[in-house]
Amino acid sequence: MKRKPLPFDLPILMQQAGMKVQTDFHIVEDREYIFSLVFRFNKDDPADRARVKKLVGEDGQDKNGDPGVPTPLKIGVSSILADGERPIFDTEFSELRLRSWGGDF
């Protein structure tokens, strides 16, 4: 398995429903890790910002009650042992909410 430097980006095209992305990475230090989803847009383009906002919603709901398109996320963590892998975490989150809204990434 090729090691990725932390942090790393994993781009996904969200123009079509059902798009998926998957990666493996190696963790050697037992500690807490932060995971986040970032939906980038051009901060100088209000139309691009509106496009992303319509796709993923915002913290809460818009004035019409629309929270945006669901963005399911499945995370699996396995321990790599001499005799194979052992799953230690495998969860799918189907109702994620955006917790901040900004730009200029």
* DSSP letter for each residue of 26-79: ---S-S-----------TT-HHHHHHHHHHH--SS--TTS-------EEEEEEE
Say how far apart CA 96 and CA 56 lie, in whole Å.
Answer: 9
Q: Where are the domains of the chain?
A: 1-105
Is the torsion defined by CA of 61, 36, 79, 23 positive or negative? positive
More confident residue, 96 or 42: 42
At 10 the pLDDT is: 79
Say how far apart CA 78 and CA 45 lie, in whole Å.
Answer: 41
If one counts every other C-beta atom within 10 angstroms of the C-beta of residue 52, the result is: 18
88 has a pLDDT exceeding 80: yes
Q: Give 83's pLDDT tier (boundaries 50, 70, 90).
A: very high
94 has a pLDDT exceeding 70: yes
At 102 the pLDDT is: 62
At 80 the pLDDT is: 83
pLDDT, one tens digit per residue, over 11-58 is 777 666 677 777 777 777 888 887 777 778 888 999 988 887 777 766
Say how far apart CA 1 and CA 24 lie, in whole Å.
Answer: 8
105 has a pLDDT exceeding 60: no
More confident residue, 97 or 9: 9
Two tokens at 10? Answer: 């994993």
